[in-house]
Amino acid sequence: MTVIEQDRPHGFAMKASATKGSGEHGLGWLAVSPALLLLVGLLFGPVAAVVLFSLTDWQLGSTVFHFIGTANFKALFSDPTFWKALSNTLIYAAIVVPGTVLLGLVVALLIEASPGLRGFYRAAHFLPVMSTMSAMAIVWGTMLHPTIGLVNRALGVMGISGVNWLRDERTALLALAVIGIWQGFGFAMVLFVSGLKAVPQQLYDAAAVDGADGILDRLRFVTLPMLGPVTMFVVILTAKRSFEVFDSVRVLTQGGPNYASEVLLHRLYTESFDFLHMGYGAALTVVYLAIIVLLTLTQARLLDRRVHYS
Amino acid sequence: MAEIELRHIEKSYGETAIVKGVSLSIRDGEFLTLVGPSGCGKSTLLRIIAGLEAQDSGEVVVAGRCVNDKRPKERDVAMVFQSYALYPHLSVFDNLALPLRTRRLSFAQRLPFVGRALPGRGGIEMMIRAEIEQAAAMLDIAHLLHRKPGQLSGGQRQRVALGRAMVRQPAVFLMDEPLSNLDAKLRVQMRAEITALHRRLGVTFVYVTHDQAEAMTMSDRVAVMTSGELLQIAKPEQLYRDPEDLRVAEMIGSPKINVVSCAHWTSLGASLPRGVHGNTAYLAFRPEAVGIAAPGDGRLSGVVASVENLGSDIFLNVALGEGHGTVVVRTHPDGSRSEPGRPVGLQIDPACLLQFDSAGMRLRHAEQIEAAA
């Protein structure tokens, strides 16, 4: 409040000092109003609209709709495709989050340990993050092609006959998860590299004198604990990103075969824009949002206590 | 129990020589302080003793054993760092336990979860606990054992860092500016506590500081370093009274020793004191070796520029004249007062006059040579 008081126009200051309590209160609201307007306009407003739509039978393009209560939600929860999409999304996240964190961490450690070419390695590993997923998905599509794809040819050289990765119920989701890791670990790597730079050298020195000077001991007693806050951030971010996986699914599998790679966001898109069931899609969105919020809150609560050591 | 011997240690980073051929022997159980301005190579020398830094040439001998190719943990040294370097994710207890666990438990026994179930671990852990509790009681941190370092004050962290060094009972304690992150009052208190700890443990302490007051008050002997060279190593009082080098004389003592070049001395119209060598370039004297007298009579004289009253002492800054610097004079508060602007003569005790040649090396009077011998 002190900063604001300094900037206050003269006349306003007179008025505010006359009714100090309420004046300052009003000023506070005035100061936060731009942010508040944006929040309402861009966040709370749309969310409220989505919640409203989820209670209607509105179809895209239609001019009329009726409130139908929780019918959309009832339909949603009794739809096996929804449960399949939800469990696929969870499996996808369960592979992508640890995969991204581990790969990002290992690559960051390797890059920081190597004396030369750090800049090049960092840039090279960061490239997938910068690229457009839908374009890259096409590249992956050709690589994973059952007959002419690079992956199966390489396997063939080693005498292993590959499968049709994206058309096989057992491997479609796994292939998408690998692509997800490939796309995301560069970002995790960059965050870990910056985290590594912030680890004080004296801690490594202390560990060396204390006898914890092996690679594993250094990792366990210094590097990993000091990377705690970064790791928490990476985990939350990657979890959020894997819950919103869409591009690769849309381009490569369209959720198939037989819903084996159907995920929440793709389901939402298909229902809303392919089948034009906006009400149903909105109900799905509400569930999706609830899951995301819940996820972030739990993670933040659980992890925050364990990574900030005070 | 260990004496340390450094033989011709050299270290440079690229083109810059940090330590230039330092040889030094530290006696068993001694409290030796390395003091010098920042960047003089004292911390590097300490890190070389610890094994955290490899010297380019020279030998480090601890307890009669060359440790050049030994890793820090094999050198039987413990180190206290300026930033304390406590593990922030571990409780104070686990911080203290770490050096013991890494030494006494096998790799498998130290594994999380699994390690606890392995045979032999329970007994060792009980011994470790007992030792930590003993050390914690000694340092008055027993009530903090369950806390994390982030919840402690600077002084408490300092004690934990000392405790971590102490628990494994090393032969040598190395301390790198351990008090410089503390406030002035706590620093004085910890100074006394560290000296007491040294007396109680009786092991070799090597202490690095840029603060000459710490060096003077805590050490058995002080080694003065400047730009990678060891200038003098002696008892604190000897460094103060009998410095070998003008740089040592200037570094030790507060306020700083007064240095007047012979050329200034004569150009100010004063006659050089008796017994000054022909090649003496600088005359130096401590503030307490000067008295205020009437100007003239061939004495060095000047004008009182300012007066600093510290209660127990009053320091007069006497300006010698345009471009000739000032001389600090310590006077007793009960003596006659001097006001700024008053012209005064300086009466210097000839026995306390130190002579240095143009390179800053000490030249002695005949009687001082006798006294030293």
**pLDDT tens profile A222-266:** 888 888 888 888 888 898 888 888 888 888 888 778 888 888 888
CB of B315 within 8 Å of a chain A CB? The answer is no
Give me the CATH number covering residue A126: 1.10.3720.10
Is A190 a member of any domain? yes
- Give the pLDDT score at A16: 44
Contact between B85 and A210 using a beta-carbon 8 Å cutoff: no
Contact between B149 and A206 using a beta-carbon 8 Å cutoff: no
- The band of A308, judged by pLDDT with boundaries at 50, 70 and 90, is low
- Give the pLDDT score at A19: 52
CB of B360 within 8 Å of a chain A CB? The answer is no
For residue A212, the distance in angstroms to the closest alpha carbon of chain B comes to 6
- Give the pLDDT score at A148: 81
Is A1 a member of any domain? no
For residue A304, the distance in angstroms to the closest alpha carbon of chain B comes to 13
For B89, the closest chain A residue by CA position comes to: A309
CB of B77 within 8 Å of a chain A CB? The answer is yes
Give the contacts of A132 (CB within 8 A, at least 6 positions apart): none
* A74, pLDDT greater than 50: yes
Contact between A309 and B89 using a beta-carbon 8 Å cutoff: yes
* A52, pLDDT greater than 60: yes
For A222, the closest chain B residue by CA position comes to: B87
Among residues B80, B302, B253, B196, the alpha carbon closest in space to that of A205 is found at: B80
The answer to whether the CB of B254 falls within 8 A of the CB of B282 is no
Among residues B223, B80, B68, the alpha carbon closest in space to that of B159 is found at: B80
The answer to whether the CB of B327 falls within 8 A of the CB of B258 is yes
- Give the pLDDT score at A116: 76
* Burial class, A252, CB count within 10 angstroms (exposed 0-12 / middle 13-18 / buried 19+): buried
pLDDT tens-digit map of A151-181: 888 888 887 777 778 788 888 888 889 989 9
- Spell out which chain A residues touch chain B, with contact meaning CB-CB distance below 8 angstroms: 200, 202-203, 205-206, 208-213, 217, 221-222, 225-226, 228, 309-310
pLDDT-flagged residues of chain B (< 70): 1, 365-373
For residue A295, the distance in angstroms to the closest alpha carbon of chain B comes to 25
Query: In angstroms, rounded to a whole number, what is the distance separating the alpha carbons of residues A230 and A236?
Result: 10
CB of B91 within 8 Å of a chain A CB? The answer is no
Give the contacts of B169 (CB within 8 A, at least 6 positions apart): B203
Is A51 a member of any domain? no
For B85, the closest chain A residue by CA position comes to: A203
Give the contacts of A243 (CB within 8 A, at least 6 positions apart): A89, A93, A264, A265, A288, A291, A292, A295
CB of B13 within 8 Å of a chain A CB? The answer is no
- β strands within B186-335, DSSP E: 204-209, 221-226, 229-234, 258-261, 282-285, 290-293, 300-309, 314-319, 326-331
- The band of A8, judged by pLDDT with boundaries at 50, 70 and 90, is very low
Of B51, B89, B103, the CB nearest to A225: B89
Q: How many domains does chain A have?
A: 1
Suggest the residue from A204, A205, A210 to mutate for an interface test with chain B (most B CBs closer than 10 A): A210
- Two tokens at B216? 């003077």
Query: In angstroms, rounded to a whole number, what is the distance separating the alpha carbons of residues B254 and B260?
Result: 17
For B99, the closest chain A residue by CA position comes to: A210
CB of B155 within 8 Å of a chain A CB? The answer is no
Contact between B79 and A206 using a beta-carbon 8 Å cutoff: yes
Concatenated DSSP letters of B41-71: SHHHHHHHHHTSS--SEEEEEETTEE-TT--
- Give the pLDDT score at B32: 94
* A23, pLDDT greater than 80: no
Of A202, A217, A225, the CB nearest to B81: A202
Contact between B72 and A212 using a beta-carbon 8 Å cutoff: no
- The band of A20, judged by pLDDT with boundaries at 50, 70 and 90, is low
- Two tokens at A226? 């000091």
Is A272 a member of any domain? yes
* A14, pLDDT greater than 70: no
- The band of A21, judged by pLDDT with boundaries at 50, 70 and 90, is low
For residue B109, the distance in angstroms to the closest alpha carbon of chain A comes to 13
Suggest the residue from B81, B146, B152, B173 to mutate for an interface test with chain A (most A CBs closer than 10 A): B81
Q: Which domain holds residue A196?
A: 79-276
Among residues A207, A179, A15, the alpha carbon closest in space to that of A103 is found at: A179
Count A/B contacts: CB-CB distance under 8 Å: 68
Is A103 a member of any domain? yes
- Two tokens at B127? 């011994």
Contact between B85 and A200 using a beta-carbon 8 Å cutoff: yes
Q: In whole angstroms, what separates CA B22 from the centre of its chain?
A: 17
Among residues A184, A167, A164, the alpha carbon closest in space to that of A245 is found at: A184
Per DSSP, what are the bridge partners of residue B78? B173
Contact between B150 and A206 using a beta-carbon 8 Å cutoff: no
Is A233 a member of any domain? yes
* Burial class, A258, CB count within 10 angstroms (exposed 0-12 / middle 13-18 / buried 19+): exposed
Look-up of token digits 């800053």:
B360
Suggest the residue from B43, B46, B52, B157 to mutate for an interface test with chain A (most A CBs closer than 10 A): B52
Contact between A210 and B102 using a beta-carbon 8 Å cutoff: yes
- Give the pLDDT score at B14: 87
- Two tokens at A194? 């910056």
- Give the pLDDT score at A17: 47
* A6, pLDDT greater than 70: no
Please report residues of B whose CB lies closer than 8 A to that of A225.
87-90
Please report residues of B whose CB lies closer than 8 A to that of A213.
71-73
For residue A107, the distance in angstroms to the closest alpha carbon of chain B comes to 24
3-state class (DSSP) for residue B243: coil
CB of B85 within 8 Å of a chain A CB? The answer is yes
- Whole-complex ipTM: 0.81
Residue type, A48: A
Is A37 a member of any domain? no
Contact between B98 and A203 using a beta-carbon 8 Å cutoff: no
CB of B169 within 8 Å of a chain A CB? The answer is no
Query: In angstroms, rounded to a whole number, what is the distance separating the alpha carbons of residues A254 and A93?
Result: 18
Query: In angstroms, rounded to a whole number, what is the distance separating the alpha carbons of residues A182 and A294?
Result: 26
Is A293 a member of any domain? no
